[in-house]
Chains A and B, each alone.
Chain A
Amino acid sequence: MKTDEPKTPRREFLETCGKSIPRWVLFFATIRAGTLLAAEEPEVYDPKQHDYAMGIDIHKCIGCGRCVNACKIENKVPEEPYYFRTWVERYVIPAEGEAQVDSPNGGRDGFPELKTEPDMLRTFFVPKLCNQCANPPCVQVCPVGATFATQDGVVLIDESYCVGCRYCIQACPYGARYLHPVKKVADKCTFCYHRIRKGLLPACVEVCPTQARVFGEAGHRSSPLRRFLRFNDVTVLKPSLNTDPKVYYAGANREVR
């Protein structure tokens, strides 16, 4: 029989394990607290940390109209073809003469085929929406302050406050606003504010099959929008009006307005 044996490795092992328990507890507690804190974070939304903007690559738009359809459904935009938060225009540039533009039903059902014209220079599609201007004329003219710019850079309308005077519709140079026929208040694109606050993409961006629409934060280095702005020559609509739009177009020709 073995006597006076030194402590067995097993016993030593168990003792060591026992001694380390408090350290393990501390370790898991720290991790747990860490995950708790991390989980807490998205719930505290700080609008000052965001500055949303959109990029539109005209070369990529195929005029399928899925964005228009998604917007109508997501935002419950009235079905009639006279109310749009976003729409798509088709430009046909002849070799000579004026550009021809159309947008049947806002481009929602795509576009009828063009009769081939031999002297056609080029054609392209231009998605339009509220430009979420940094210097918005609509906000300036609203008599009661029902339309306002948020800290994260979106122009919104308080539909419980709007008096329906339509001055903002007159002041918008882009035709982005309409009077909601049932609610009798001004209405327009919100960048799907209810979605982007949760970290989701606007409906039109989500469904675009060619990634012609890029959404993101102009101020974040890693955002896809930043990349879009870096690698494209971009312009905005009607720059002479000094509205400072936050919808940037890549490949927009001089005919676009």
Chain B
Amino acid sequence: MGMFLAEIAPELHKITGYIYPNEYELHWGILIVLYPYLTGLVAGAFILASLERVFNVKVLQPVYRLSLLTALSFLIVAPWPLVAHLGHPERSFEMFLTPHTQSAMAMFGFVYAWYLMVILLLEIWFDYRKEFVIWSRERKGLSKFIYKILSLGTNDISERALRFDEKVGRAITIIGIPSAFLLHGYVGFIFGSVKANPWWSSVLMPIVFLFSAIVSGMAMVLLIYMISTMFRLKNINMGCINKLSELLLYAMIVDFSLEILDFIQRLYEAEESINILSQMISNRLFISLIVTQIILGTLVPMASIVWARFGKVPDEMRRMLYFVAAILVQVGIFSTRWNVVVGGQLFSKSLRGLTVYKTEIMGLEGLLMSGALLATPFVILYIITKFLPPWSKTETQISTQ
């Protein structure tokens, strides 16, 4: 309590107009910004993997396994900020034991469990099963033991067994695509269904969340692929990243169009809330919405992908442009999440005033904590790749002359 009062006191003069007295405390901070950002990366990375598997986009083969492992690493961390944010984290399990079925939030646990257990882990296991069996035979010591456990006692790598693996893997992916849609569309619904909040309440919210998720996931896999390949001194597969960037561009066009549609619709309908929302955009969200989300996070990367993909540029430059675009997209999507979650709380429900949000450095809701939470999936991914290397066998060494 002391923390909150100490934080809010110097900010009071920045509050403009009238806000309800209970609105001084802003309830969902940076931890809840991380939550849709992380689950979005999961859904996006998984959908990218499905493209290769189900739609046979063979050129994406070098990033197939990497996308699955990326999705897994981010999925493991996704619920952490949620639980850390609860007033009573020790009661969080009640959501599984006594869920209130009408609540959009109560279903998250089940969607999450379904996605983690049934979809991701199964798909990864079937995909790696052959290797698990081979490694458990070839390796020695602890490593042999670990792969023995990972293979879950299976030993059959005959042609027929592998064909079965392939068939099941494909079936899981096919179920997985709607599941990935569900996972993030559902996160959008948590916000979009709050009728009390005119900034959130929109039927487009789940769809916008979904497409921004695909955008962020693709860009993240692109980044991880480029960095990891560089550090392993291998050649980047240009065909793969060309295709990946092209798909990223298409997803961005859909995403941006949907957001513009939402924006125009609000402006044209001009409901009761329009005045306070326009004030909020021009005063409180100008940097994070207009500058970071739209210009830096959407228009600039779209332009650079178009230039790199369809212009006549050398491969070196092309890689550079893709890389910069992918980083900017991450910044942009993070701003998108910020603008939804924090933006939805910067105006009073009296529609008469604007409040402020001040990020702390220390503490559970602080920047350091958020930084740590954001870094964790990468650490997890690094460890997973040590045991389940996702790298393609056709990779070539960078020639060092």
A residues in contact (CB < 8 Å) with B:
78, 80-84, 87, 89, 98-103, 105-106, 128, 137, 140-145, 161-167, 169-179, 181-185, 241, 257
Contacts and interface: CB of A to CB of B under 8 A. Distances in A.
The dominant DSSP class at the B interface is: loop
B197 to A, nearest CB: 7
Contact of A170 (B99, B108, B196, B351): B196
Contacts of A98: 352
A181 B3 CA distance: 10
Interface in B1-25: 1, 4-5, 8, 18-25
A162 B27 contact: no
Nearest to B17: A101
B195 A179 contact: no
Interface centre among A98, A128, A173, A177 (most CB of B within 10 A): A173
Given A166-B27, A166-B28, A179-B87, A143 B18 contact: no
B105 A165 contact: yes
A257 B350 contact: yes
A182 B1 contact: yes
B157 to A, nearest CB: 45
Given A173-B349, A175-B348, A144 B95 contact: yes
Contact of B105 (A106, A143, A185): A143
11 contacts: A78-B1, A103-B18, A142-B103, A163-B88, A164-B91, A165-B87, A166-B27, A171-B196, A175-B21, A178-B25, A184-B87
Given A82-B8, A170-B196, A177 B103 contact: no
A165 B35 CA distance: 13
B302 to A, nearest CB: 33
Contact of A164 (B87, B99, B348): B87
A82 B277 CA distance: 23
Contacts, number: 133
A179 to B, nearest CB: 6
Given A173-B196, A185-B88, 20 more contacts: A82-B5, A82-B21, A82-B22, A87-B21, A101-B352, A137-B196, A140-B103, A143-B95, A143-B103, A144-B106, A163-B88, A164-B88, A164-B91, A169-B27, A170-B27, A172-B196, A175-B350, A176-B22, A179-B27, A181-B4
Contacts of A184: 87-88
Nearest first, the 7 closest Cβ-Cβ pairs linking A and B are: A164-B87, A175-B20, A184-B87, A181-B1, A173-B196, A143-B106, A145-B100
Contact of A179 (B18, B25, B106): B25
A105 B21 CA distance: 8
A171 B344 CA distance: 12
B103 A167 contact: yes
B1 A163 contact: no
Interface string B201-214: 00000000000000
B195 A137 contact: yes
B158 interface: no
B350 A101 contact: yes
A89 B349 CA distance: 14
Contact of A84 (B22, B108, B196): B22
Given A142-B100, A241-B196, A161 B94 contact: yes
Contacts of B257: none
